[in-house]
Structure 1
Amino acid sequence: MEYKTQVINGAKYAYIDTPFWNSKKKRGEHKRNYIGKVVDGILVPNKKFLLEQQLADQQAELKQCPAQGCIRLFYGATYLMDCIADRLGIADDLKSCFGNISDEILSVAYYLVLEEGQPMYRFHKWGRTHKHPFAGDISSQRISELFGSITEGSKLEYFRRQSKRRSEKEYLAFDTTSISSYSELLKQAKYGKSKEDDDLPQINLAMLYGEGSRLPVYYRKLPGNIPDVKIIENLLKDIGFLSLEKLDLVLDRGFYSEKNINDLMKRHHKFLIGVKASLKIVSNRLNAIRDGFVTRANYNSDLHLYVATFKEQWDYTELKPRNGEIIHDKRRVYLHIYFNDRRCADERDRFNHMLDRYEEELRSGNRRDDHEPAYDKYFNVRETAKRGLNITYKEEAIRRAEKDYGYFVLMTNGIKEPAEALRIYRLRDLIEKTFGNLKERLDMRRMSVSSEENFEGKLFIQFVALELMSYIKKEMEANNLFRKYTMQSLLDALDIIEYYQQPGRAHHLSEITEKQRNLYELMGFCAPS
């Protein structure tokens, strides 16, 4: 292939010069299509050129192997899935880890994304009308067999490959959710504190999610009766096979414990975690600054919050397992303290509403056993034959309860700027939205499977589908597409593009509108040709 070069800012760029006739200007002109850089005399192609070459190779292959029968399939949405799977390395990593079943895994993942909430047995109909990687029918029985054939070792290798592609230089948000199950065959399904408010046994799912890439990196399945605070220790053990030398974690305050902080410091990981105002290191600082905190000097006009950062010393301890020696040290942490007027007012309103309810229960005689500690804490209750029932408030206890309203605190050993810390911490909400997508759109709110192996396999393919969905969601948000489309309506708008092929002829596509081409471009890809 012949190309020309041009030096721009010290770098040598390669381009193909294409002459054409400009009918409006009545003259010949040239168009430059940049295809990459030249480094040490070798062409390093860019992504656009690689994609164009891939499409050209596919067309050449089809011309060499003409269809034996007439083919007419929906193609526009699965083409988008192909592009995303290539860009994120999903297709290559599945091929490397799962070999000859990788196309089936990818096809089922496409189906989960494109056919919102549909059961697996309907794949048969969808697969016959859409162009997809496996290019054949996958029966319900075969899908069940596919779930069971996904091995733990292959999954872990896939996670390792994916994490190396995109988890560097970004904080990873970590959170858990519960998945209820109708199956009595799952060993880890236990009755616990359900986040779904149902009476079914559940399994907890923990996930790492990139705050920059906004893509899921890894998940692990946990027994349903394990509290969040116990999970970090095993997560840190998992980092070994993910080959992440240093982990930057964003955690909500449910994961806080002294042991977890010490374990993170021991392994030299960076962390950002929400902590309670009652924590000793926090309460000491708040008591020292509370009276003069809400001032103009501490007001951040961008955040609309009162903000201050303090450098503190963490009492670090480490147990040496060989000799039982306990090491004591001081480690630096930053406390980012924020005060929100509206939050303060809302919390005070809720607290007073609660006290009103408790007082009404006391006066009506409808006391509740689970409210007895609160009655004792906030009320003086006396009853005499002469004066009857007399209720007064314990003002000091009420003041202690209200003193930290409006405050919230982040603790970190890596982020010095409070605005940046809050920005990253708020991205943790993406995990909750991701779990919502995973449960609702991927048919996962209530899992019903016939075996432990099938559950593991289905969960993994749903994770692959979640990667594809997360990319689409990120690009839709970046380009304000949610103003005009839901994710389903966008995919439907592309899905109607059809793929035709007749015996002895190369394939061709149905008409592609300008609006459809624009959608592909906003997703970061060229339209199919």
Structure 2
Amino acid sequence: MSDNSAKCPNRLSFQYKGNYKYAKVPGTSYRENGKIRKKGTIYLGRVIDEKNNIFYSKERGVFKYDIENNQFLQADPSFTGTLQNDQRKKPKLILDFGDSFFINELIHQMNYDKVLNSIGYKNKDTLYSMVMFYVLTDISCMHCDTWYDGNFVKILYPNADLHSQRISEFLSFLGKEEIRQKFFKSHIDWIKEKISDDPAIVIDSTGLPNDIQIELTNVSNHNNIISNEVRMISAVQRDSGYPLIFRAIPGNINDVSTLSKTITILNEYGVSTDMALLDAGYLSEKNIDDLYYANIDFVARLPEKLKTIYDNIVEQGKNELRRPENLVTFMGRFVYVKQVNCNIGTMKKEAYAYLCFDVDAASAENHKAIVNSKKLSQKKLKKSGSVFHELFETSGMFIIISSLPYKSDEILNVYYNRLIVEQYFDLGKGLSRLIPLRVHNEERVLGHLLLCQIAATMNLYIQKKLNQTYLNSVELYLGLRNQKCVIYATKIITSEAQSSATRLYNKFKITCPNYYIKHSDVLKSHNSIPKVNPDDE
């Protein structure tokens, strides 16, 4: 018989086990075969807040129980009660210190705490602890509570609730549309004020492989690679490389259909885009018309699927392309570049095409074709002769299209500024936990991506300050993590920092305290030797 089917008697019964109080709905008694039995008993678990009917159980985590209607509800994020004070755990007296101390100081130094506070999550300790977890580690959230238990972050933010079920609720909260809008508005305002107000953007997408069956997951065919994934579209500021917004779409939606909406959304956050750098996947005749209509200049690679204009540009420029005056060097490569005037879009707007021939790329493509040709029989090879000839004629060739005129030796630098978005994706996937996705519904995916953007923003800030690229969080933060703190009866005393940690502190002008003293739940840092009389503190 289901416990939930019984009518609730509108009262609870309590009992103590050790130091903790537990509650249950007592149910009703009945006689069966001469024996007294119970039905409708509901075990609620440990009492967190008796007045507000907040409980904790392993199955449900922290929850609220509605006695009148016999319903299990989500508890307010601010409820942590005495959940953390588990007497079975011996408190750790030595904690990882430098990494969380450094990130916490940096958040305030950057004035990024204003952005985080705009999110409006009621348990600030959980919010800041999760931000640090995403910045400093790449481990699964199921281990977050273990990380917290051994890190100085639990001293900085003692009321954080990082149990698995509460983290899921937290990610769902961050994934709500109204919360993401608050975050993007505040984040973009911070970039404009502290970093750059450049309205030029780079837009691109990346696949996030995911076999969890949610609406955002679908089969993608991107650059002829088939995968089951969520696609994340990011708009990045051209001059600074900082991310502005992200969008998550099902994997089967083509990039070309997302451009107009992404620029429109940016406008809602006060980004009046005047220049866009785009990959070939975003260019279509409709999008070209839309960009001209909105007075947005653009530079993009022309896709071969726009066959008429593509073939026309190749035909106009190929005979004069490979000449000494057209040869330029770019990032250690030799590329022939020839400008060709053209008209594009359904409105036939004047534009500038740059027919390019990459010598290295042509060699690689030709070599691959030759290797494949050796696998064919003589008869098949003869039939494929025209195909190979056409490939040899066009290998290494691509077209950059622009609404503005540039010199031939400038256009590659202009177009490949879009690599900053690829660098952002590399940063997100390598250092800021973007993949793998370990969440199981749409709101949690979006909440996870929001935390990843926060982590990537902070990691980007650090890398730009250091003029150095790090591939993973261990490489960047290990020296800081190796600096410990020791909890004594009256003070928390920090250990000496290693040279790698000291360099970071000095670069960001952060002073590491000698010790901390807690006064009425306020943590105060000290750099001097303590006075003889403790009452003088």
Alpha-carbon distance change, 472 to 285 in structure 1, aligned in 2, over 3 angstroms: same
How many residues are aligned here? 413
Partners of 2:233 and 2:476 in 1: CA distance: 29
SS of equivalent to 1:447 = coil
Amino acid corresponding to residue 106 of structure 1 in structure 2: Y
How far apart, in 2, do the equivalents of 1:336 and 1:264 lie?
Answer: 19
Consecutive unaligned residues of structure 2, counting only runs of 5 or more, are: 1-90, 514-537
Q: What are the superposed Cα offsets for residues 363-393 of structure 1, whole Å, 9 maximum, x if unpaired?
A: 5xxxxxxxxxxx7xxx6xxxxxxxxxxx455
2:275 to 231, 238, 248: 248
CA distance in 2, matches of 1:490, 1:354: 43
Displacement of 1:71 in angstroms is 7.0
Contact 1:70 1:502 in 2 (8 A): no
- Give the structure 1 partner of residue 221 of structure 2: 193
Distance (whole Å) between structure 2 residues aligned to residue 349 and residue 433 of structure 1: 29
Aligned counterpart in structure 2 of residue 213 of structure 1, from 237, 240, 252: 240
Equivalences for residues 3-22 of structure 1 within 5 A: none
- 2:205 aligned counterpart, secondary structure: strand
1:125 to 117, 139, 146: 146
Q: Is the 8 A contact 1:338 1:407 kept in 2?
A: yes
1:28 equivalent in structure 2: none
Aligned match of 2:158: 135
**What's 1:314 paired with?**
343
Q: Partner of 1:108 in structure 2?
A: 130
Q: Distance in 1 between the 2:115 and 2:462 partners?
A: 20
Report the Cα distance in structure 2 between the residues aligned to 1:115 and 1:528, rounded to whole angstroms: 22
Q: Which residue of 1 aligns with 2:354?
A: 336
CA 1:487–1:459 in 2, change beyond 3 Å: closer, same or farther?
closer
Counterpart amino acid of residue 363 in structure 2: A
Aligned residue number for residue 178 of structure 1? 207
CA spacing shift, 1:249–1:239, aligned 2, 3 Å? same
Give the fraction of aligned pairs with identical amino acids, expressed as a percent.
17
- Give the aligned residue type for 1:289: G
Aligned equivalents of 2:206, 2:450: Cα separation in 1: 16
- The one of 462, 487, 502 equivalent to 1:472 is 462
Give the secondary-structure state (helix, strand or coil) at the position aligned to 2:212: coil
- Displacement, 1:309? 5.5
Q: Is the 8 A contact 2:94 2:487 kept in 1?
A: yes
Residue range with higher mean Cα deviation, 203-212 or 217-226: 203-212
Instruction: Give the equivalent residue in structure 2 for 1:355.
Output: 373
Closer/same/farther in 2, CA of residues 171 and 113 from structure 1, 3 Å limit: same
Q: How does 1:26-425 map to 2 (within 5 A)?
A: 73-86=95-108, 88-116=110-138, 118-132=139-153, 134-137=157-160, 138-150=162-174, 151-166=176-191, 168-169=197-198, 171-184=200-213, 186-193=214-221, 201-276=228-303, 279-301=307-329, 304-308=333-337, 310=339, 312-317=341-346, 328=347, 331-357=349-375, 359-360=376-377, 391=382, 394-395=385-386, 397-414=387-404, 416-425=406-415
In structure 2, do the counterparts of structure 1 residues 420 and 93 end up closer, same or farther at CA, with 3 Å as the change threshold?
farther
Between stretches 459-468 and 161-170, larger displacement belongs to 161-170
Structure with the bigger percentage of helix = 1
Checking the alignment, whether the CA contact within 8 Å between 1:246 and 1:268 is kept in structure 2 is: no
**C-alpha separation between the residues in 1 aligned to 2:218 and 2:359?**
41
Gap change, CA 1:194 and 1:519, over 3 Å in 2? same
Distance 2:299 2:412 in 1: 9
Give SS of 1:98's match: coil
Partner residue, 1:526? 510
Aligned to 1:38: none
What one-letter code is carried by the residue in structure 2 that aligns with 1:181?
N
Task: State the distance in 1 between where 2:482 and 2:405 align.
Answer: 47
SS at match of 1:192: strand
Q: CA deviation at 1:313?
A: 4.5
Q: Which residue of 1 aligns with 2:45?
A: none
Matched residue SS, 1:402 = helix
Q: Output one character per residue of 1:149-169: Cα deviation in whole Å (capped at 9) or x when no partner.
A: 222112112112222333632
SS for the counterpart of 2:394 is coil
Structure 2 residue 437 is the aligned partner of structure 1 residue 459: no
User: Per-residue deviation at 1:72?
Assistant: 5.2
Which AA in structure 2 matches 1:134? Y
SS of structure 1 residue aligned to 2:221: coil
Query: Contact 2:234 / 2:243 at 8 angstroms: preserved in 1?
Result: yes
Residues 1:418 and 1:163: Cα distance change in structure 2 (over 3 Å): farther
Structure 1: gaps spanning 5 or more residues: 1-68, 318-327, 364-374, 380-390
Amino acid paired to 2:186: R
Q: Does structure 2 retain, via aligned residues, the 8 Å contact 1:105–1:461?
A: no
* Distance of aligned partners of 1:452 and 1:170 in 2 relative to their CA distance in 1, 3 Å threshold: closer
- Aligned-partner residue type, residue 247 of structure 2: R
Contact 1:83 1:525 (C-alpha < 8 Å) held by counterparts: no
The one-letter amino acid of 1:154's match is I
The 2-side partners of 1:393 and 1:315 are apart by 33
Question: Once the 2 structures are TM-superposed, how far is the Cα of residue 296 of structure 1 from its aligned partner?
Answer: 2.1
Name the CA distance, whole Å, in 2 between partners of 1:196 and 1:107.
40
- How far, CA to CA, are the matches of 1:283 and 1:520 in structure 2? 57
Aligned equivalents of 1:146, 1:172: Cα separation in 2:
31
TM-score (norm: length of structure 2): 0.67
Distance 1:424 1:88 in 2: 30
| 8 A Cα contact 1:174 1:209, kept in partner | yes
* Change in CA separation of 1:392 and 1:147 when aligned onto 2, cut-off 3 Å: closer
Deviation of the 1:455 alpha carbon = 2.6
Aligned-pair CA distance for 1:234: 2.0
- Alpha-carbon separation, structure 2, partners of 1:198 and 1:302: 32
1:248-267 deviation line (CA, Å, top 9, x unaligned): 32211122211111112211
Partner Cα separation in structure 2 for residue 343 and residue 453 of structure 1: 42
Secondary structure in 2 matching 1:193: strand
Contact 1:182/1:448 (8 A) holds in 2: no
The answer on whether the counterparts of 1:312 and 1:333 sit within 8 Å (CA) in structure 2 is yes
Q: Provide the C-alpha distance between the structure 1 equivalents of 2:312 and 2:497, rounded to a whole number of angstroms.
A: 65
Structure 1 residues 297 and 182, CA, compared in 2 at 3 Å: closer, same or farther?
closer
Secondary structure at 1:217 match in 2: strand
Match of 1:18 in 2: none
Aligned residues of 2:263 and 2:273 also touching (Cα < 8 A): no
